[in-house]
Amino acid sequence: MSSETKEFKRILVTGGAGFLGSHLCRRLVREGHDVVCMDNFFTSQKTNVTDLLDKPNFELVRHDVTMPFFIECDQIYNMACPASPVHYQFNPVKTMKTSVLGMMNMLGLAKRVRARILQASTSEVYGDPNITPQPESYWGHVNCTGVRSCYDEGKRCAETLCFDYHRQNQVDVRVIRIFNTYGPGMHPYDGRVVSNFIVQALNGQDITIYGDGSQTRSFCFVDDLVDGIVRFMNQDECIGPVNLGNPHEFTIKQLAERTIQLTGSKSKLINEPLPHDDPKQRRPDITLARELLKWEPKVQLDEGLQKTIDYFAHVDMRTFKKPTQ
Ligand code: NAD
Ligand code: UDP
């Protein structure tokens, strides 16, 4: 199955200036679609999409997804939401509003204009999972009062809204659960582990391992992920949820060691306290994505890390503001 979409569509991408959103916009613009990128620039900036600004089929709109938005479009990718724990915990009430009110606004829009809508959900709906790998049928193990719950429960509620709008109003929804994704274009002050480790290694600073580094994550390269998202949006068989991620699992200590080796850095590994409710393990079961989309990640960790290191080695850190300032 080809992931190329054949007809030209008008496509709204919320959070389109963010890390994943900007890669997705670039892909959709390249395919010839009319792309409207909507963002409030909480964790991103206009410069993330500078290369697209002069394209006749790209439009950038500053708007907050928690407020209604009126547009005619064929597809909506709802990517708006801070994704790094540091950022989503900065204003947790706003994070919840972004997931819940934002989802309601976008589902309402999809209902009015009969657009297909894809929700960027997350592996965090599984919480601190007690089975591994995590299949879509697993209901999760989430603390609903903890510091991560503004994100986890917000995304769980957004999924509920998708399925209720589908049952009640026949809205054509697609729900994906994204597992840790990284690559060029990440914000240097993003706070997530891959960007932190690479920036620290390149600057010769200590590499901050939270806890003892035995917790695991499975890291997907951004190009693979975007390919999976577009494939899923453009198939008619399944509304989801479907896991998208790379099933190769690494401990955080292993990630730190790979980063040191690939950068040739002299940085030392240090241990800092483990944040509350930090999941101990995370690895996607991608059987469904393999069968349905004929999709699986192609870029493995060393190759993806090298591309991300090359990006951070050349990016001008002074042009980025810290989202929490
Ligand atoms: P990101 O922080 O780089 O991008 C999020 C974008 O949403 C930013 O441009 C931000 O300014 C925008 N945004 C935030 N709140 C908004 C609001 N109220 N109105 C309009 N725009 C708003 O994060 P990302 O990694 O690109 O994640 C994109 C989406 O994918 C998020 O919904 C996230 O939850 C989901 N996701 C990402 C990962 C990952 O590993 N990258 C994993 C699971 C889920
Ligand atoms: N982490 C770390 N050092 C850092 C940043 C993160 O050890 O500088 C750990 C974090 O505690 C978690 C894992 O790396 O166990 C992944 O964190 P990230 O914030 O990237 O995403 P999460 O999967 O937790 O949402």
Question: Coil, strand, or helix at residue 48?
Answer: helix
State yes or no: pLDDT of 1 exceeds 50: no
Which whole number is the average pLDDT over 17-37? 98
- Please answer whether residues 22 and 247 qualify as being in contact, where contact means their C-beta atoms are separated by less than 8 angstroms: no
CB 71 within 8 A of CB 45: no
Separation CA 142–CA 156 (nearest Å): 10
Average pLDDT of 295-310?
A: 98
| Coil, strand or helix at 97 | helix
Query: Can you say whether the dihedral through the CA atoms of 90, 183, 195, 321 is positive or negative?
Result: negative
Q: Terminus-to-terminus CA distance in the chain, angstroms?
A: 45
Ligand 1 centroid from CA 234, angstroms: 21
83: tokens are: 């994704």
Cα 192 to averaged position of ligand 2 atoms, centre (Å): 6
Residue 192 CB–ligand 2 contact under 6 Å: yes
φ, ψ of residue 232 in degrees (nearest 5)? -65, -40
Distance (angstroms) between ligand 2 centre and the Cα of 226 equals 22
The band of 280, judged by pLDDT with boundaries at 50, 70 and 90, is: very high
- pLDDT at residue 322, as a whole number: 73
Q: Say what the pLDDT of residue 4 is.
A: 52
CA atoms of 246 and 76, how far apart (whole Å): 25
What's the mean pLDDT in 197-213? 97
Instruction: Write out residues with Cβ below 6 Å of ligand 1.
Output: 14-15, 17-21, 39-44, 64-66, 79-83, 98, 102, 120, 122, 178, 180-181
Which ligand is closest to the CA of 82, given by its number?
1
- Using pLDDT thresholds of 50, 70 and 90, give the confidence band for residue 323: low
151 catalytic? Reply is yes
Closest ligand by atom to 178 CA = 1
| 80-116 residue pLDDT tens | 999 999 999 999 999 999 999 999 999 999 999 999 9
Question: pTM of this prediction?
Answer: 0.97
Nearest to 69 by CA among 110, 9, 35, 29: 110
Q: What is the mean pLDDT of the chain?
A: 96
For ligand 2, is residue 207 a contact (CB within 6 Å)?
no
Q: Per residue in 149-182, pLDDT tens?
A: 999 999 999 999 999 999 999 999 999 999 999 9
Query: Is the distance from the beta carbon of residue 306 to the nearest atom of ligand 2 less than 6 Å?
Result: no
Query: Is 277 a pocket residue for ligand 2 (Cβ < 6 Å)?
Result: no
Residue 92: count of CB within 10 angstroms of its CB: 15
Residue 281: nearest ligand to its CA?
2
Contact 190, 19 (CB under 8 A): yes
